[in-house]
Amino acid sequence: MTKKAIDMLSPTETFYRDLAQHRAEHPDTTRAIGQHGYIELESTWGDEATILNTARISTGNSRLSSVTEFTEKDRRLLFELLRDQHGTPFETIYFRYRFVAPIFVLRQWVKHRISSWNEFSMRYRSPIDAFYLPDDAATHVDGFPVMDEEDLESYNDLMHSVLDWQSARYAKTCRRIDEARERGELPPKTTGRDPYRGRARELLRNVLPVSAYSDVYWTVNLRSLMNFFQLRCKPGAQYEIREYANAARDLFAAQYPLLSEVIEEVAALHK
């Protein structure tokens, strides 16, 4: 894509172009979710050795430097710690995910409160100009369409009208601000955040539907992450958050195959 073509992209198009480029560069740690969704396991701290070193603090001074040093005894201890719910050693390793998801999914996700949550505020740049449109799996229950084609068309038109209204109002407000500056009614724009445009974004974000997308960094320890997987990956979880949870679990398993295997073994004991 030429620089001229890039310069003509909307902020949302630029945003999704950058995510697509990042996915191409990091295929093992990123996933697309549906039409607009995205999740990435961006960073991790610690590993299986960290868990065992923490658990053994009262029993000896020997330390494992990495999972490559594991013996069968070490693997068995990892299993027993998890099986017997010795939770605190599993709080010593951390994961940072970034995800782009509909606001209604975020409302469910943020209930997992033992974590750190940093969300796109929409105060410093315009919202993502996209919304969640249910696919066949989302609209059917046991083969029955709980939303038919007419419903989906109406839904699509309504979401477009809201986002188009928000975008048009912001553009109109920016023009009025610029015209007022030209007439000398407002002070010239300085470096940093424009308080007039900023306030307009704050007010106009209020009309966004919960189907609109937002952007989040989520930092969580393993104990809380396992709880998230347990609750949100099960078949009874809502379809949309389950899609993200399954992707988050797959990304985790790819980086921590031993730990993932032990978690599955313990989970099988309770089935």
d(Cα 188, Cα 180) in Å, to the nearest integer? 10
Q: Quote the distance between the C-alpha of residue 203 and its chain's center.
A: 24
d(Cα 3, Cα 154) in Å, to the nearest integer? 37
- CB-CB neighbours of 30 under 10 Å: 20
d(Cα 252, Cα 257) in Å, to the nearest integer? 8
- CB-CB neighbours of 188 under 10 Å: 7
CA distances from 98 to 64, 128, 159, 183 (A): 30, 15, 25, 44
Q: Smallest Cα–Cα separation from 153: which of 166, 169, 139, 167?
A: 139
Residues known to be catalytic: 232
d(Cα 254, Cα 190) in Å, to the nearest integer? 47
- CB-CB neighbours of 243 under 10 Å: 23
Q: Smallest Cα–Cα separation from 70: which of 262, 266, 223, 265?
A: 262
Is the dihedral angle over the CA atoms 174, 178, 181, 183 positive or is it negative? negative
- CB-CB neighbours of 263 under 10 Å: 23
